[in-house]
Amino acid sequence: MRIYVLDGDPEALARTAGLLGSYPYVKLVGSSSDPSVGLNEAIRLAPDVLFVDTHLGSLSGLAASDRLKRELPRLHVVYVTESREYAVEAFEQGAFDYLIKPLLRERLERTLGRMKLFCGGSFSGNGKLDLPDISHLRQDGGNDGCGQC
């Protein structure tokens, strides 16, 4: 699973990146504390998952993730923030999860485990999912899956 981290707080960014880097199935493709740099890098790198704070200084994390989802429609967004204030809005935008700082390993493991389980396929590294072929499970043999997890 290819992950990009965007957090305006360099210490929190380092903690999140460090925790994510300890999982063998996670590839941290990039990180930034600067929203404009982070947006450009994330678009270029096309991660599967974006971990983002709601407060990025000049730009809100909600606006940043909204912009990235327009460019990368299959991007999964996990908010990592100090406040519950934007949780409803984040989930209305389709957030995969909303984590409260300080980020705890146990909580992160639940999120990553749900992501692996929910997505049911391996991440391809191009912002898309490689889903298993399940056409054999349908009586008519067709495969009308949406192609997203």
At 54-113, the pLDDT tens digits run: 999 888 999 999 999 999 999 999 999 998 999 999 999 999 999 999 999 999 999 999
Angle between helices 35-45 and 61-71 (to 10 degrees): 20
Instruction: Tell me whether residue 146 is in a domain.
Output: no
Can you give the CATH number for the domain in which 14 is found? Answer: 3.40.50.2300
> Mean pLDDT throughout 10-23?
95
> pTM for this structure?
0.80
141 pLDDT higher than 90: no
* More confident call, 147 vs 79: 79
Instruction: Tell me whether residue 149 is in a domain.
Output: no
Instruction: Tell me whether residue 129 is in a domain.
Output: yes
27-32 and 2-6 as β-strands: parallel, antiparallel, unpaired? parallel
**Range of 39's domain?**
2-137
Instruction: Tell me whether residue 148 is in a domain.
Output: no
Q: How many domains does the chain have?
A: 1
pLDDT, tens only, 123-137: 544 444 444 444 444
Q: How far apart are CA 28 and CA 83, in angstroms?
A: 24
Instruction: Tell me whether residue 116 is in a domain.
Output: yes
User: Which residues sit opposite 60 in a β-bridge?
Assistant: 55
